[in-house]
Amino acid sequence: MANKVTTAIFPVAGMGTRFLPATKSVPKEIMTLVDRPLIQYAIDEARAAGITEFIFVTSRGKGALEDYFDLAPNLEEELRRKGKKDLLEVLEATNMDSGAIAYIRQHKALGLGHAVWCARRLIGDQPFAVILPDDVISAEKPCLQQMVEAYEETGGNMVAAMEVAPERTSSYGILDVEREDGNLLDIKGMVEKPRAEESPSNLAVIGRYILSPSVLRNLDEMKQGAGGEIQLTDAIAAELDQGRKVYGYRFAGQRFDCGSKSGFLQATVAYGLARPELRDDLAAYLKDIVPNLA
């Protein structure tokens, strides 16, 4: 049986240029979906999957992210004094155990693979998860939990997989599939951002991974991949060359690309409609405007 996965890396050092000018001063991960920052959705998903150690790979200008996970004793005291029990509970649910979070700096934005590699000294010789908070996944059973349960049977490496339109393969890491068994895909290759005509499939890697520590050693050896960045995809693909297993996992749920403006807006509508206290108002507004859309 595979070792338990208790550590997750959250690479949050990217510059978020697609959200400029907001990201001049607000880290993308602090931007709010309804009333919770993206990072809170990622943390909740990790906790549901049994993660107890949280490693953030940050960069210059991400101070608000670190502050978000501090306790807010004055605010809590004020809410207690005013008898605002509901809000107090909302706040307390975001508290993290002392010492559960570590922050590592990525000094240069050299890509996702490099960001993960920056956390290598905190990982040791255990499997670990990687969660990209930009990919928000709405699911009955949180995506990483689905993957951890599958991984307990398979071991190896596992990436979340989703079908994308053929013209979108050039935006993703794409899987070359050997065999399918239900939700599990046995992978024989991975290609970063292939053009549609060169793509081995339309199964894309989404921002959830369970990786073995050997991926960090591959990153050690890495040369720069597609786009001049150090690609995590290449380091996972190297696992196959070294005779280790990589599985794709077709998760149940809907993924929103909150790293893009359109995806963020779609997520805002979906998560807004999912909130009982907002649903009626928002649905009435949408019904009102939709017939008039060209």
Choose between 79 and 191: whose C-beta lies nearer to ligand UTP. 191
**41, 43, 45, 49: CA torsion to nearest 10:** 180
Of 128 and 150, which CB lies nearer to ligand UTP in the complex structure?
Answer: 128
Smallest distance from ligand UTP to CB 262, Å: 13
Taking the complex as a whole, the smallest distance from the CB of residue 134 to ligand UTP amounts, in Å, to: 5
| Closest approach of ligand UTP to the CB of residue 135, in Å | 8
Distance CA 127, CA 53 (A): 12
CB of 293 to ligand UTP, least distance (A): 27
Closest to ligand UTP by CB, 40 vs 106, is 106
Residue type, 33: L
Residues 6+ apart with CB under 8 A from 22: 31
Which residue's entry shows tokens 């599958």?
150
For ligand UTP, the closer CB: 79 or 211: 211
Give the 3-state secondary structure percentages of the chain, helix then strand then coil, rounded to 5: 45, 25, 35
Smallest gap from Cβ 220 to ligand UTP, in A, equals 17
Smallest gap from Cβ 31 to ligand UTP, in A, equals 12
Residue nearest to ligand UTP (CB): 14
* Closer Cβ to ligand UTP, 121 or 287, answer by number: 121
Residue 165 CA to residue 64 CA, distance in Å, equals 36
* Cα dihedral 259, 265, 270, 272 sign: positive
- In the bound state with ligand UTP, the residue whose beta carbon lies nearer, of 201 and 208, is 208
Task: Give dist(CA 94, CA 64) in Å, integer.
Answer: 15
Instruction: Rank residues 3 and 171 by Cβ distance to ligand UTP and give the closer one.
Output: 171
Give the residues lining the site for ligand UTP (CB under 6 A).
11-18, 28, 57, 106, 109-112, 114-115, 132, 134, 259
Instruction: Tell how far CA 262 is from the center of its chain.
Output: 17
Q: Which residues contact 267 (CB under 8 A, 6 or more apart)?
A: 33, 136, 138, 256, 258
- C-alpha dihedral (134, 138, 142, 147), degrees to nearest 10: -70
Distance of CA 188 to the CA centre of its chain: 24
- Between the CA of residue 34 and those of 85, 179, 270, what are the distances in Å? 20, 40, 10
Quote the least distance from Cβ 226 to ligand UTP, whole Å. Answer: 12
